[in-house]
Chains A and B, each alone.
Chain A
Amino acid sequence: MINPTEYVPKSFQPRVSTYWWLGRWAYAKFILREVSSLFVAWIVVVTLLQIRALKGGPTEYAEFQAWLGNPWVVILNIISFFFVVFHAVTWFNLAPKAMVVRMQGKRLPGVAIAAPNYAAWLVVSSVVAWIVLRGLK
């Protein structure tokens, strides 16, 4: 006697289109968020190049600055800026979902967790800008 389930493939995995995420905004947003990591890596690489140029001396740093002014690099940096801000916003908005804080037995609303993140973002960015623009003195 033939067992009817015997010939069913053990792992039936229908092939999903490579462009499955284009169909819905929520899916596209998910992939865009993943892609933002490429721009994160790019910014780190630029920073490493900047440190290397600073280490190399004033002439090398001037060359690095000229490279940063190249229209293609500027365009890439504008795109990177949007992606990294997109990463930041989605990251902070996700914080309440990853972190459940209870106070007096009640769950704190998401805003109470996301808002301090935004506040910290503002403060940290201001401190960095202050030091870069004014120096350490």
Chain B
Amino acid sequence: MNQRSNEPFLWLLFSAGGVVAAMLLPIHLFLFGLAFPLGWLNGPGYERLIEILRHPVTRLYLLVFCSLPLFHWAHRFRYTLYDGLQIKHLNELINIFCYGGAVLGTAAAIYLLWSIP
């Protein structure tokens, strides 16, 4: 049987996720995780945020924001476990954990963004 590898596809997801993680995650974390909780900046109130969140473009944006970086994590963390901890013999378990986690996270994002009133 000549089975084609799905590695290029996974690498593409890793790469796209890497770009999203580099471009978008720092500012999000800076604002919501540091600047607002530590009082450096006045954060937006609930009403303003839910209004932004209801916009269809925001939902699409957040889906990309959550999904692609998770696939980036899955791919990179898989190799962290291989290289760093040298547990390549647990290959299948690691793959299920990593890519399964990314798929579950994406499903959670779709569900949450879809069900916002």
Contacts and interface: CB of A to CB of B under 8 A. Distances in A.
Contacts of B33: 43, 46, 68, 73-74, 77, 80-81
B72 A37 contact: yes
A125 B113 CA distance: 22
A77 B52 contact: no
Most buried by B among A37, A55, A78, A129: A37
Interface residues of A, number: 51
Contacts, number: 158
Contacts of A88: 21-23, 25-26
Contacts of A113: none
Contacts of A41: 69-70, 73, 77, 101, 105
A133 B77 CA distance: 33
B29 A65 contact: no
13 contacts: A21-B84, A34-B79, A37-B75, A43-B33, A48-B112, A51-B62, A51-B112, A51-B113, A84-B26, A87-B18, A88-B26, A91-B21, A128-B31
Interface of A: 16, 18, 21, 31, 34-38, 40-41, 43-48, 50-52, 54-55, 58, 61-62, 65, 68-69, 73-74, 77-78, 80-81, 84-85, 87-88, 91-92, 120-121, 124-125, 128-129, 131-133, 135-136
Interface of B: 17-19, 21-34, 36-38, 41, 43-44, 46, 48-53, 55, 62, 65-66, 69-70, 72-73, 75-77, 79-80, 83-86, 101, 105, 108-109, 112-113, 115-117
Given A58-B46, A87-B22, A135-B51, 5 more contacts: A36-B76, A91-B18, A124-B27, A131-B52, A136-B51
